[in-house]
Structure 1
């Protein structure tokens, strides 16, 4: 009907009946769809955080303006069916009353229009062949205790307890860093102050051989060895250079430790006992060239055969591949493996099938890429607003994650980057960026967060719209289900 009305208009022919019918049908369909959305959400349908109440509220407008539905029906009745005007009073006593005419006319027009409208609603409710991504269900795993905010690095010990480091930008500059410990069900066990550290802690992990808990101190550009119970710390690794920005941790089978430098574009390496790191790889592909945030090489992981390391560059939205050869893992020349990886690729992990899992901190999702071409095979999670308690619904700036049984546990940094940078640029050596617009799409939402959380989502790769069934049948182990 819409195309017919448009074609008549373009041809300079009368199209009033068709255009009015389209307006009527579209208004009815919009209102009915919005009403069903509210009913599907139950009482949450009235909560502003879910946005469906706005849809219902705004769907009333086209039923009233530019003309009401009743006037639209009357117009179609007069012009298409030749019925008299409902407001044309006649002296002939045999003529029905004005109200009776209106009722009869509307019934006839509704009969004429109801079938197309019902057909439209059925089509709207029918799943199309091109399915959208099945993103899974994001649930809250744990809530940070009052006064704690901006969870970042996350890891798991052998008993299944969860350790989380925070970027405590909400605390005074002289504060120690914070380590939060939760049990396997998400119950808060203790809060540990990391003595001798700054309050800006990033990645965290247990050394696979020594069992030491290593924590990246972003502000001091050091890796610390931390007692997870007392918070006592010692320097495990140092690096050199101008304004280094240490970020992500990784290990090889020999116990060597690798650390990304998000400012200088370096992968640092040190032996199992720590010390001063040496530059394992230096490349402009690991530097941040698009802002904000001013974070280049963020995290990295070796594939299972130890033939390549993959590195996420947050600012550039790229995954960089570094070829590796020999038992000593000699690095080759870095190259961009894939571009435009979500928005802000952050934490990177590789599963048992070599699929690459990436937390995207600006698009609020976890992407999973297959390892040969970098094709996305799953998009998990999303952001759904702020709930009535001030906690994010779904993911909000997901920076890090860890596999935990059948779940993926994800930290929601929920940081207003522009505001934090303006307040703490001197600490971070980023004063040159203050004059630039550093606002991110998550910033205004993050500013509303009062309760900080860790989320969870099932560790599975649903069948998406772009998965090749033939590939799946030839290599069933290629995808994780």
Structure 2
């Protein structure tokens, strides 16, 4: 038996070494980019959606010449980029330019598409292929003093509707940006005719207005961006895009619009996604920009990829007007719209490594068990006058949460790669002291430390 043990031991050692080296060999650098799939005719992929089972849905959008009068399509891909199914869209306006964006999903897995002609929300069951109209939009006139606010857009031009991106509200309403009418629509719970929920001259980018929209982790604030605006601002402000926060008040009305970040002229901010850390990953679709930009929760620009506007991302296909970003774990799914070039070889979806996980996308009625935020601390007790080192651990769904803000005793620190942060704090008064965990500007978890009175000597 001894003659067998030595080779077996060597084999085991070699296997252990191979397993130890495997993560290093498979490790990806931030922004490592790979072509995940090519998108077939009619092409022009503008927005993707990653379902809970990781199926990736991509719709085909309009082209620059407006000649795409055939039916739009939705393609379903596996996480590895294999084409699983193709859906042909029905009921589109004959002779008009056609395009759809897969903008939302409900708790049953039904998809919600934003159709251009007719201007509507189309419900698509990916299992059966059944399609039905869920909501409708309409052309509203520019606001004038005698016009009821709910029936107008605060714009200079009178443009037709162009529903662009959507986000669910907690009451089941759907909030939809209108790229040309500078409004945020509200489709009532259960569907129906949409109504103008918010409009503002700062959203008026003429033909390039509000685009991406998400509901933030507090479930009370919308984040949205514009590709340009406002139209009445002096140059270059009228050509820059902005990232905004917009609260949903307890009465359901919009709160105060607050600017978080501003792009450069004609960079065309478009679709974006939120990381658990609160960082925003945004596609810039402006002509000859061809970049992704990363923005901190406080509006600081952290990075751009690539660093120039060449579109060279290290893959065989360059960025050619990347138009949207969606998280799939620690990677991003980025669509390559190629709107102006029209190069069919550029109609792809990319797998771009973010190196940090995305924040959950809110869906009404979907259970979030096991996905909550948690903050723990050691030690949990201290004494008045004793300056101590407290080690915090932040998690989300049981996994370490990187880049979140821990605040305790008037000091703050960001969590590291595995969710840990250390703060040195001393207290002058006894009592129960609270530490908070903040993600995307919202407090999502708390923990406590008990401060005992200073011990008295003899």
Instruction: Give yes or no for TM over 0.5.
Output: yes
Equivalent residue number for residue 315 of structure 1: 228
1:236 deviates by: 0.9
Of 246-255 and 347-356, more deviation after overlay is shown by: 347-356
Equivalent residue number for residue 125 of structure 2: 227
Q: Residue 296 of structure 1 is aligned with which of 198, 209, 214?
A: 209
Query: Between Structure 1 and Structure 2, which shows a larger proportion of helix residues?
Result: 1
1:275 deviates by: 0.4
Equivalent residue number for residue 281 of structure 2: 357
Equivalent residue number for residue 177 of structure 1: 72
Structure 2 CA distance for partners of 1:137 and 1:375, relative to 1, 3 Å: same
Q: Residue 55 of structure 2 is aligned with which of 156, 161, 168?
A: 161
Equivalent residue number for residue 139 of structure 1: 34
Q: Is the 8 A contact 1:166 1:179 kept in 2?
A: yes
Aligned residues: 304
Equivalent residue number for residue 150 of structure 1: 44
1:329 deviates by: 4.5
Which stretches in structure 2 are left out of the alignment for 5+ residues? 1-28, 141-159, 230-239, 357-402, 420-458
Equivalent residue number for residue 330 of structure 2: 406
Q: Secondary structure at the match of 1:258?
A: strand
Alignment of 1:377-396 (within 5 A): 377-381=302-306, 393-396=317-320
TM-score normalised according to structure 1 size: 0.56
Q: Is the 8 A contact 1:192 1:230 kept in 2?
A: no
Q: Is the 8 A contact 1:357 1:368 kept in 2?
A: yes
Q: Is the 8 A contact 2:71 2:90 kept in 1?
A: yes
Q: Secondary structure at the match of 2:54?
A: coil
CA RMSD of the aligned region, Å?
A: 3.3
Q: In 1, distance between residues paired with 2:244 and 2:180?
A: 18
Q: Secondary structure at the match of 1:285?
A: helix
Larger radius of gyration: 1
Structure 1 residue 263 and structure 2 residue 180: aligned?
yes
Q: In 2, distance between residues paired with 1:392 and 1:449?
A: 14
Equivalent residue number for residue 241 of structure 1: 139
What is the CA deviation profile of residues 436-474 of structure 1, one whole-angstrom value per residue up to 9, with x for unaligned ones?
A: xxxxxxxxxx2455352111111236xxxxxx9x99994
Equivalent residue number for residue 338 of structure 1: 261
Equivalent residue number for residue 108 of structure 1: none
Q: In 2, distance between residues paired with 1:330 and 1:409?
A: 33
Q: In 1, distance between residues paired with 2:199 and 2:191?
A: 20
Equivalent residue number for residue 204 of structure 1: 102
Q: In 2, distance between residues paired with 1:224 and 1:287?
A: 26
TM-score normalised according to structure 2 size: 0.59
Q: Residue 190 of structure 2 is aligned with which of 256, 265, 273?
A: 273
1:280 deviates by: 1.3
